[in-house]
Structure 1
Amino acid sequence: MSKDRPPEVSKRRYASFLDAHNVDGSLVQGKASAVLEAVLTDEDNQPLHGQTIYFTVSGSGKDLGNAPTNHDGIAKLESGQKILDLQTTVFGAASGYEAEFKGSANFTASKAHGRINATF
């Protein structure tokens, strides 16, 4: 008597797409500030909500923090007091920022680059 084996089940991870917006930033009294924004969607261009997006300064890799996506797939992070030193300010103004979705059980990881249009 042979035992029936269940069919192999392969769990497919769907592609994710991340778009980092170009944003305006400012430098006031030695402190840089910008509201970083990224949009996470699936392969059908449907928003992915409740996912964490990580933000860093391009070039320096300085961690700026993370934010969850809302129902429209948008994650916003106020850089606030996180950009205090001159070197990070210069890197951010010259190189922009990176947004990263590290993936999940259902979706692949994705990255995007955004520019910071700085006014001094």
Structure 2
Amino acid sequence: MTTEHTPSRHPGTRGAVAPGLRATNPNPVSTHGLEPIPVVAPSTDAAIEAARARARLATTLTSLEDKLNPRKQLTRLRHEHPVASAAAATVLASLAVAAVWAGVRAVRRR
């Protein structure tokens, strides 16, 4: 004999059944005799809408990753503005050389 029980608002109270389970035992307090409730396949419209929502989410996550990933930003900048990226690389290389030169000079003066 299978009896359906709706989940109680308070799990410790009499008659409580964990969500996703249905009682097969007439004693609703017992945890023995629980079986999973069969999952019903979603309707076609709901499945299509879920697939569309997943596709929108994937597109949003990809665009966020592109905007927040510094390596991808530099790659995009290099392809969109090659002259500006070459100038920036030259400035960074010059600063690195100047820092090394200043460090060597400070060590030699000791």
Structure-1-length-normalised TM-score: 0.18
Structure-2-length-normalised TM-score: 0.19
Which protein is richer in helix relative to its size? 2
Task: Select the structure with the greater relative contact order (CA < 8 A; seq sep ≥ 6).
Answer: 1
Which protein is richer in strand relative to its size? 1
